[in-house]
Chain A
Amino acid sequence: MTAVGSKCRVCKGPAVIDLPRHNAKFCAEHLQQLCRRQMAKAIEDFDMLSPADRILVAVSGGKDSLAVWDMLIEAGYQADGLYIGLGIGEYSTDSGGYVQRFADERGLHLVTIDLRDEYGYDVPTAARATGRVPCSACGLSKRRLFDQAALDGGYDVVVTGHNLDDEAAVLFGNTLRWDIDYLARQMPVLPAANGFPKKVKPLIRLTEREMAAWCLVRGIDYVVEECPIAAGNRHLSYKESLNAVEAKSPGAKASFYLGFLERMAPLLAGKSAAAAGDLNECERCGSPTTGEVCAFCRLVEKSSAHEPVPVEMVLTRGRRR
């Protein structure tokens, strides 16, 4: 039983979702149309992709990365997937299974890298060995491996599934600290530089709720459970705060982030260390770094020499963050 009035704004058929920021409800078909249009607008506005690009999509098994891979393939792009086994216990095993099934069912090419097998460490061990919070060790590892895999495979561009909520939360954190360097770099396109591939975020105009709904109406199975060591992190608390604002002022998150890109980012152009040319080459791997050895090489050195740390050992630490 569905209440009277719950109709799609476009076709007047039964709605499956209400999107207060659009002051409208949509059926499954027109929700997909909205998502396609929003992604296409982001790609066009920021010159993210061209039809000839060979694309590598970083996929985690979560809704956003599987959704963006699905949307790009549907839109006719040539996109392969990259999955990194992070060694976060059963969570990683399950996540990898979702990614593999997604690729197999659609006949898509999936590149898989296992941190433990190929670099001699995993995320729990890296967190303990370096004293970094787990999300920091994870993010640093993933960013480098995305770059390396793209270079090794001859890809033109790396796509990540960062959505509007992700970017608004990062912007919120950077703004709270007035971190000008990070603010100046928080763009949805990182151009190819220093031998690294271009990186783009086609989902910046779409919320995580919209991406989860995309997966549901498209029949995409994804890992719903939260990463056990991300629980309680600062990023999640920023999202909760922004959602509290959004509940009172629908559209606030989009206004905050997209307004930043339109009106504030141009004022910050050239303010980051990278733009100012204040970077050296890592003496081990040649990557750009502010020191002599880059953060990733330091992390690998410490983590691979450390005794493996089971995921349970970093759970409390993760929640405290």
Chain B
Amino acid sequence: MKVLLRNPRREVEFDGPRSVDRLLDELQLSREAHLVIRNGTLVPGDAVLGDDDQIEVRPVISGGA
């Protein structure tokens, strides 16, 4: 699967199937600080991602206060 990451914007490849939570663990990214979008739709942590899926891992933390 193709996985789009942000800040900086880049794309990496992963094999499926794997869950959203496992993907975030392998990327060492906090679940609290990210959302995962599969083929344009938001998915929860136990959703299983397949080889053909287009994935975006979107950070949600912003710096202003």
Contacts and interface: CB of A to CB of B under 8 A. Distances in A.
Interface in B27-65: 30-35, 37, 41-48, 50, 58-65
A2 B30 CA distance: 21
Interface stretch (A39-47, A151-159, A240-248, A291-299): A240-248
Given A3-B19, A224-B58, A225-B7, A18 B46 contact: yes
A16 B9 contact: no
Interface string A100-118: 0000000000000000000
How many B residues touch the partner, as a band? 20 to 34
Chain A interface mostly helix, strand, loop or mixed?
Answer: helix
A57 interface: no
B48 A135 contact: no
A18 B63 CA distance: 24
A176 interface: no
B6 interface: yes
A188 B30 CA distance: 27
B64 A60 contact: yes
Nearest to A18: B44
B59 A224 contact: yes
Given A225-B6, A243-B32, A244-B30, A235 B44 contact: no
B33 A139 contact: no
B32 to A, nearest CB: 4
B63 A5 contact: no
Given A2-B48, A225-B6, A240 B33 contact: yes
